[in-house]
Amino acid sequence: MTRRSLLILFLFAATTALAQFPGMPQLPTDPATDKVLAEIKDHSQVMDNLAYLSDMIGGRVTGGENSRKAHEWTVAKFREYGLENVHLETYKIAHSWKRGRASARLLQPVERPLTVASMGWSISTRGAVRGPVMLVEATRKEDLDKYKGKLKGAIVITRRPPPRAPLTPPPPRPFFVNSPLPPGGDMESIFRTFMQFRLELSDFLKAEGALAVLSMTDKDEGLLNMSSAGGEFLPGALPSAVTTREDYTLLYRLLERKATVEMELDLENALSPGAVDAYNTVAELRGSEKPDEVVILGAHLDSWDLGTGATDNGTGSMAVLEAARALKATGSAPKRTIRFVLFSGEEQGLVGSREYVKAHRAELDKVSGVLVHDTGTGRVKSIGLENYYASRETMDQILAPLASLRLEELSMVRQFGTDHFSFAIAGVPAFACVQDMADYRLTHHSQSDTFDKVVKDDLVQGAQVLAGWALRTANWKEMIPRK
């Protein structure tokens, strides 16, 4: 027997002895929850469903044809699994948008192709346009005065490229965690100030006669990173594209050398002439004793379209669907209603969840809690309590029987980049899963967001966390305390 085998045998014997020691406390158990966790572990359909969503439907830009197909497919799946009150909730967006061709070339001081993709809701160029590349650096409206009269016919870049991330990265941290705020600051107002200046900058560049705007991805190795060119489902003021870090930093270095930098850009996209419908998918497992009190599991079904939306956020959406399947398959009879919501419009500013909150405002006082899964394939490590310290004791007790899922201590962390935030600012106890980052910073919003990046065991564990938390919260003796 090897030393390793002896060590394993010793640890097993020690663990068994401790478990049998009369004075040792026993971990809480919940047979109904254990049954659901076992169903997901032994009979999960999460990977099959995610493969269909990713490969057969693909990227799901809100308002587009694939988005509609995805919502209709999830309605059919919820009904197949026996859920109740399955339906689509509709809201209007100003325009839908469809990606067309995109190409670019550096013309001077050297000729070479550039890798580009249109930003979401970008308008088209009028054929291939040519112009000098110019840098505009500004963080507030007053900074723009020095560029007046200098930008006509230019293709504009708007920031110095930050240093490349070190090859040995620092320890991972939760995605979209807010940094310390200035006195009196709040996440919503800071975000709105940032977005307002983006619009002011676009209007200034258009008024000055610029041809287009070129942004830099925050990823390496030729990956792109999508976001929107304009406001919420509104076309950008100018044709807008994103390019790779490698191409963007080349342009910047050439400008630093005082070289004459000229490029060509050709973008073609399609916008609907007017408003179109967008959807949230809703399904329920009706409560047996307090059906008017609700626990919500959520994720966003929409995605960007350079990849297939597998990890952002097919993973979260299919974990919610799997939680619903398992709860119904095991005959769970929660005291409160468990509601499953797959939002759209998250990528344009949490629009679908904001519309849901607006439409259901009268019942928000009856929502015990909301849990959202939206950081890719990584296993769920904890739940961020959004500084709702009053919920700490209740959440600890709710999660106690989930010890087999290896959750870490609950976190006070605040996250604002996903749909729970729409509920949190309305006063509902709303939380996001704190997940292992895996490759999320590389895959999200990029052409690398595809099914082959998904880790089955971690996604199954995420579905178990959602289902276990929802059932325990629905059966808890009281609602989760308000902040």
Q: What is the pLDDT of residues 131-169, one digit of tens each?
A: 999 999 988 888 899 999 999 999 999 999 988 776 555
How far is 147 from 156, CA to CA, in rounded Å?
11
Q: pLDDT at position 446, please?
A: 96
Mean of all residue pLDDT scores within the chain: 90
Architecture per CATH, 99-166+177-271: 3-Layer(bba) Sandwich (3.50)
How far is 482 from 429, CA to CA, in rounded Å?
6
How far is 337 from 363, CA to CA, in rounded Å?
13
Binned at pLDDT 50, 70 and 90, residue 27 comes out as low
DSSP string of 99-162, one letter each residue? EEEEEEEEEESS-EEE-EEEPBTPPPPSSSEEEEEEE---SSGGGGGGGTTS-TTPEEE-SPPP
Q: What is the pLDDT of residues 427-445, one digit of tens each?
A: 999 999 999 988 888 899 9
Task: Kindly tell me if the per-residue pLDDT of 311 is higher than 50.
Answer: yes
In order of 31, 138, 209, the CA distances from 149 in angstroms are 72, 16, 9
Q: What is the pLDDT of residues 243-285, one digit of tens each?
A: 999 999 999 999 999 999 999 999 999 999 999 999 999 999 9
Binned at pLDDT 50, 70 and 90, residue 364 comes out as very high
Q: What is the pLDDT of residues 38-47, one digit of tens each?
A: 999 999 999 9
Residue 370's H or E segment, with its range, is strand 367-372
Q: pLDDT at position 199, please?
A: 81
Q: pLDDT at position 440, please?
A: 87
Q: pLDDT at position 173, please?
A: 46
DSSP string of 294-356, one letter each residue? EEEEEEE----SSS--IIIIIHHHHHHHHHHHHHHHTT---SEEEEEEEES-GGGTSHHHHHH
Task: Kindly tell me if the per-residue pLDDT of 4 is higher than 70.
Answer: no
Closest CA to 313 of 266, 374, 370, 249: 374
Domain boundaries defined on the chain: 28-95+275-475, 99-166+177-271
Q: pLDDT at position 401, please?
A: 95
Give the whole-number percent of the chain exceeding pLDDT 70: 89
Instruction: Look at domain 28-95+275-475 and name its CATH class.
Output: alpha beta
Q: pLDDT at position 231, please?
A: 82
Q: pLDDT at position 197, please?
A: 82
Q: pLDDT at position 297, please?
A: 98
Considering only residues 51 and 231, tell me which one the structure prediction assigns the higher pLDDT: 51
Residues making up the chain, counted from first to last: 483
Q: What is the pLDDT of residues 205-227, one digit of tens each?
A: 999 999 999 999 999 999 999 99
Overall average pLDDT of the 313-334 stretch: 98
Q: pLDDT at position 29, please?
A: 84
Task: Kindly tell me if the per-residue pLDDT of 480 is higher than 60.
Answer: yes
Task: Kindly tell me if the per-residue pLDDT of 367 is higher than 60.
Answer: yes
Rounded to the nearest 10 degrees, how much is the dihedral formed by the CA atoms of 302, 304, 308, 312? -60
Binned at pLDDT 50, 70 and 90, residue 1 comes out as very low
Residue with tokens 């000055």: 208
Task: Kindly tell me if the per-residue pLDDT of 25 is higher than 80.
Answer: no
For residue 298, the cross-strand partners are 341, 372
